Structure 1
Amino acid sequence: MGILMLFLFTFAFISCDKENEEGRKITDYKEYVLTVASEMRPGLMLAEGPDFLKEVYPVKKENSEEWETLSNIDGFEFENGYEYRIKISETSYLNYSMGQPAWTEHELLEVISKEKKASEGLPKHFIPEAFYKDKFLPKYRYAVEADNKEVIEEDLKNNSILPLEYHYFYYAHSEGPKWLAIKDDISVLGTAHYKSKYPEAGVKAAVVSYTIEIN
């Protein structure tokens, strides 16, 4: 009888433990106030997959001087050029039946203020150096169709169209994928358009084609 009772107790314990591991449950909940910067920035989101880059909200918690990031705030409608103070909830979940069992969701509770201003001390990006230093440096080829093309070709040899010391990659943007080039935390380039600069060479029309080669 004792062995039978021990078996039943063990079975009940295992069943209870299994129930705790299945299904979604809340592991933590908190509410707090954030300052949301007037501009979004590219950032690295580790929770959404390896090497996933997207625009993120730069935010500051109360009594903090450091800008941090949030990728999503449910119910929050952001307008560029305005700095916000908002109250949000942060709920952490656990579900062992999912591929990614633990996650956190943020939801807007209240917009406290909305002020048209440029946020101060905002970083150019939120991408760690260890990430962008691993990205490729560009090489380029060119083809020129123009009068006096030798002059243009010589200039292209000596003056690269793309800065070759920058690391280039794409990131997810609300308007579609955009490219970003980073040399360091201060030197950052975004989407750009290149114009002809050879009127002194008697060029009537010039088309320059360049390719970034991924090593």
Structure 2
Amino acid sequence: MKTTKLLGILILFFCTFGFISCSNDEKEGRKITDYKEYALTVASEKLPGVVTSCGNYNQVDVYAVMKEGATEWEALPAIEGFEYEPGYEYKIRISETSYLDYTMGDPAWTEYHFLEIISKEEKTSANLPLNFIPAWYYEEFCAYIDADFQYAIDADQEESIENDLMANEVLSSPNLRCYITGRFENWFLLDTEKNVVEQGILKTERKDYEDFPEAYRLLPPKGNVLGYMQWKFIKESGSKENATQYDVFICGKAVSKSPAPESVVLWLYQDLTVYYQNKYPETNVKAVVICYKMKI
């Protein structure tokens, strides 16, 4: 009996001690676990990258930086107090402070603070990557356009136009896939090895549903049309005038006007009637339209 009672007292003691220890840890609050200062080079332009916040992954523009002695650029999301001006390559001194605080959603994090400018030169930084977006991000967090397109042709000699469509590598390449970021602001054309072939920004504009080209009636979108837009794919190296344009039908599989996200389908249309009227004037082209499905 005494042994049992003693055992109970010991258990109570250790539990109480453990509770006090945990409580003391919480009261200690924020700790600095590491601090250092060093110089680094900041590139003349920011690049698309991915940052993590509270378990969420967000695509944002980040600094391209290179530490002393390094040979490759790496991403740095933010430098507190740094007044950055694009078009200039900087060499600056910063502090790197690591924190630990179990009362925070992310208990461990690092902050970077600007200390001083060592040099500032107007130039284009060399050997920059196209972006800092990891390959897994495209598959897990981006929508993409299915390379298998549909088409409809109304012409006297449809075969000539059909052969031309299928031979167009830009339209039908199985080795390329266009990804679009979650906020529909950027696009990336990747090959099968997830290498970036081309990238740019996406400009979206709402349009009146009644304004769509008559040619689209040959290949109507599947589903209940909820909205109609125009998307402009502007290349990073190009101009707005040379942007590739698509008309986009937002369709719902359900009858409801507020379907769940997984029941929404986007169809990207392009009217190629005038293009083929000029290319094959002898075929009496009345309408040519192509359509892609976006996987969300």
Aligned to 2:190, which of 178, 182, 186? 182
Aligned to 2:166, which of 125, 143, 157? 157
1:109 matched residue in structure 2 = 115
For 1:117-164, what per-residue CA distance to the aligned partner results, in whole angstroms no more than 9, with x for missing partners? 121221222233455577767324345688779354442223242644
Alpha-carbon spacing, 1:158–1:103, altered in 2? closer, same or farther (3 Å): same
TM-score for both structures, normalised by structure 1: 0.73
Shift of 1:33: 1.0
TM-score for both structures, normalised by structure 2: 0.56
More strand by share: 2
Distance in 1 (CA, whole Å) between partners of 2:67 and 2:138 is 27
Alpha-carbon spacing, 1:140–1:9, altered in 2? closer, same or farther (3 Å): closer
Q: Does the Cα contact within 8 Å between 2:54 and 2:105 map onto a contact in 1?
A: no
Q: Does the Cα contact within 8 Å between 2:62 and 2:75 map onto a contact in 1?
A: yes
Q: Does the Cα contact within 8 Å between 1:148 and 1:201 map onto a contact in 2?
A: no
Q: How many residues are treated as equivalent by the alignment?
A: 209
1:166 matched residue in structure 2 = 176
Distance in 1 (CA, whole Å) between partners of 2:129 and 2:63 is 12
When the two chains are superposed, the root-mean-square deviation of aligned CA atoms in Å is 3.8
Q: Does the Cα contact within 8 Å between 2:32 and 2:98 map onto a contact in 1?
A: yes
More helix by share: 2
Between 185-194 and 54-63, the greater mean CA deviation after superposition: 185-194
Shift of 1:96: 0.6
Structure 2, unpaired ranges of 5+: 1-5, 201-233, 235-242, 246-271
> What SS class does the counterpart of residue 155 from structure 1 fall into?
helix
Distance in 2 (CA, whole Å) between partners of 1:124 and 1:209 is 30
Between 53-62 and 158-167, the greater mean CA deviation after superposition: 158-167
Alpha-carbon spacing, 1:100–1:145, altered in 2? closer, same or farther (3 Å): same
> What SS class does the counterpart of residue 23 from structure 2 fall into?
helix
Q: Does the Cα contact within 8 Å between 2:44 and 2:88 map onto a contact in 1?
A: yes
Which structure has the larger Rg over C-alpha atoms? 2
Paired amino acid for 1:201: Y
Aligned to 1:98, which of 96, 104, 125? 104
Percent identical among aligned pairs is 39
Shift of 1:31: 1.4
Q: Does the Cα contact within 8 Å between 1:67 and 1:122 map onto a contact in 2?
A: yes
2:128 matched residue in structure 1 = 122
Distance in 1 (CA, whole Å) between partners of 2:121 and 2:172 is 38
Distance in 2 (CA, whole Å) between partners of 1:138 and 1:171 is 15
Q: Does the Cα contact within 8 Å between 2:89 and 2:125 map onto a contact in 1?
A: yes
Q: Are residues 1:201 and 2:286 paired?
A: no
> What SS class does the counterpart of residue 104 from structure 1 fall into?
strand
Shift of 1:186: 5.6
Distance in 2 (CA, whole Å) between partners of 1:205 and 1:87 is 65
2:63 matched residue in structure 1 = 57
Higher relative contact order, structure no. (Cα contacts within 8 Å, ≥ 6 residues apart):
1
Superposition misfits of 4+ residues, deviation over 6 angstroms: 7-10, 145-149, 203-207
Alpha-carbon spacing, 1:162–1:53, altered in 2? closer, same or farther (3 Å): farther
Distance in 2 (CA, whole Å) between partners of 1:101 and 1:145 is 59
Aligned to 1:20, which of 7, 11, 25? 25
> What SS class does the counterpart of residue 20 from structure 1 fall into?
helix
Distance in 2 (CA, whole Å) between partners of 1:59 and 1:172 is 25
